[in-house]
Amino acid sequence: MKLTTKTTLLLIGVLIIGIIIGSVAVSSYLRFRHERKFAEFRRGEGFVSEMEQIIDPKPEQKDQIHLILVKHSEWIQKFSEEQFRIFVASLDTLNQELSEVLTPEQMKRFEQRMEQIRNRPPKPDDRRPGRHPGPPPPPPPPEE
């Protein structure tokens, strides 16, 4: 084989490998970004900032709209936590039914994975501190 043929094949191979690595990296980054955005939305922070961007309130509306969105974001967070508790309860039922069928080795693997899932509930206290999107929340309204 000629030197130019070897060089050409080598360059084409490097190009193909680069394309594959690039596509895997981009898809991983996009998946990470999507999961993070969804998690923020469930916690309420993302909900408030996303809705404020969609609504684009006028300066005189900002405070009122922010209060309304914060109130509803609290409901979204509570709903998400309740759904997680239901999910964990269904995993317990699944665990019980599978224990009758699986081998001890399979059951051990299954239980280890389920324990990992149970140990990461969406609790506000467990979140890493970070930049809060939008303005700080206003103080709660006085109770009448």
- Residue 137 covered by a domain: no
Amino acid at site 47 = F
0.85 surpassed by pTM: no
Whole-number Å distance between alpha carbons of 30 and 92: 32
- Residue 64 covered by a domain: yes
Residues 6+ away with beta carbon under 8 Å from 55: 65
- Residue 118 covered by a domain: yes
- Residue 73 covered by a domain: yes
- Residue 11 covered by a domain: yes
Per-residue pLDDT of the chain (144 residues; tens, 9 = 90+): 788 999 999 999 999 999 999 999 998 888 888 777 666 666 667 778 778 888 888 888 888 888 888 888 888 778 877 887 888 788 788 888 888 888 889 888 888 887 877 676 554 444 444 455 556 566 666 665
- Residue 134 covered by a domain: no
> How many domains would you assign to the chain?
1
Cα 137 off chain centre by = 22
- Residue 38 covered by a domain: yes
**What is the domain extent for residue 42?**
3-125
Residues 6+ away with beta carbon under 8 Å from 62: 135
- Residue 136 covered by a domain: no
